[in-house]
């Protein structure tokens, strides 16, 4: 399994956001996507996930466009994608069922959620919600993880838990791309986006900015 990204470019209106980027990731490898505010990290990650459109370039998994490979992707964005009326355990159970996984106790334990299992997700604190959103990864069978600022709102203990979870994923032959300003305790290469077109006016794009379903 090889993830191959060639000459990726994203635009807002007529402006390219960053200098085109290329990279190749073999199983067990991770990439930290860095760059200043507004460089286009979130836009690029969403485009790689098929939630937005690349202006140019291609990203393939073993030669097939990444977002066309069924079950290949787990994406976590700025929103936690949790159902507030369901309990913590019910949220994790829902995601586990999507992956055909019956056992949720390890996912609860991965982010210290065991004692919160019966609490409605809508009543969790910001950091607890983030932990629940990330616990999805513990019941994901996807080989490629795309994570946007996953450590925001996490304390040191849960940042370490995320690092351990990603490392386990890599050790099992997975791949991860992580957009982040904060340190993530994972062995990874770094790709820094170089902003382009200073002063150009970014524009809203209904396709790029559509809600994450």
Ligand X SMILES: Nc1ncnc2c1ncn2[C@@H]1O[C@H](COP(=O)(O)OP(=O)(O)OP(=O)(O)O)[C@@H](O)[C@H]1O
Nearest to ligand X of 78, 123 (CB atom): 78
> Residue 38: enclosing H or E segment and its boundaries?
none
12 binds ligand X (CB under 6 A): yes
Using rule CB under 6 A, residue 20 touches ligand X? no
The answer to the question of residue 202 lying near ligand X (CB under 6 A) is yes
| H-helix segments, 6-155 | 41-48, 88-98, 105-110, 126-138
Residue 179 beta carbon to ligand X: minimum distance, rounded to whole angstroms: 6
Least distance between ligand X and beta carbon 207 (Å):
11
The CA angle 87-92-94, to the nearest 5 degrees, is 95
Residue 111's nearest CA partner among 84, 90, 150, 138 is 138
d(CA 124, CA 72): 30
Sequence-separated (6 or more) residues with CB below 8 Å from residue 70? none
Give, as ranges, the residues between 29 and 68 that touch ligand X (CB under 6 A): 35, 37-43
Tally Cβ neighbours within 10 Å of residue 7. 11
| Locus of tokens 């820094």 | 192
Q: Which of 190, 204, 211, 213 binds ligand X (CB under 6 A)?
A: 204
Asked if 131 touches ligand X (CB under 6 A), the answer is no
Nearer to ligand X, 171 or 209 (CB): 209
Q: Which stretch binds ligand X (CB under 6 A): 139-147, 164-172, 182-190, 196-204?
A: 196-204
Which of the ranges 52-60, 106-114, 150-158, 197-205 carries the binding residues for ligand X, by CB under 6 A? 197-205
> Binding residues for ligand X, per CB under 6 A?
12, 17, 35, 37-43, 202-204, 209
């Amino acid at each position: 399994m090889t993830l191959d990204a060639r000459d990726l470019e994203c635009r807002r209106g007529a402006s390219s956001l960053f200098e085109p980027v290329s990279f190749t990731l073999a199983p067990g490898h991770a990439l930290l996507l860095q760059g200043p505010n507004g460089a286009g990290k979130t836009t690029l990650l969403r485009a790689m996930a098929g939630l937005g459109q690349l202006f140019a370039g291609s990203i393939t998994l073993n030669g097939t466009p990444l977002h066309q490979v069924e079950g290949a992707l787990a994406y976590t964005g700025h929103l936690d994608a949790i159902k507030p009326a369901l309990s913590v355990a019910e949220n994790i159970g829902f995601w586990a069922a999507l992956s055909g996984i019956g056992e949720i106790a390890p996912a609860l334990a991965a982010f210290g959620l065991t004692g919160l299992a019966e609490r409605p997700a809508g009543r969790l604190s910001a950091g607890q919600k983030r932990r629940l959103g990330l616990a999805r990864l513990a019941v994901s069978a996807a080989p490629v993880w795309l994570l946007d600022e996953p450590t925001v709102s996490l304390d040191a203990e849960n940042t370490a838990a995320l690092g351990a979870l990603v490392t386990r994923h890599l050790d099992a032959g997975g791949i991860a791309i992580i957009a982040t300003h904060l340190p993530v305790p994972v062995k990874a290469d770094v790709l820094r986006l170089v902003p382009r077109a200073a002063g150009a006016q970014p524009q809203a794009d209904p396709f790029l900015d559509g809600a994450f379903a």
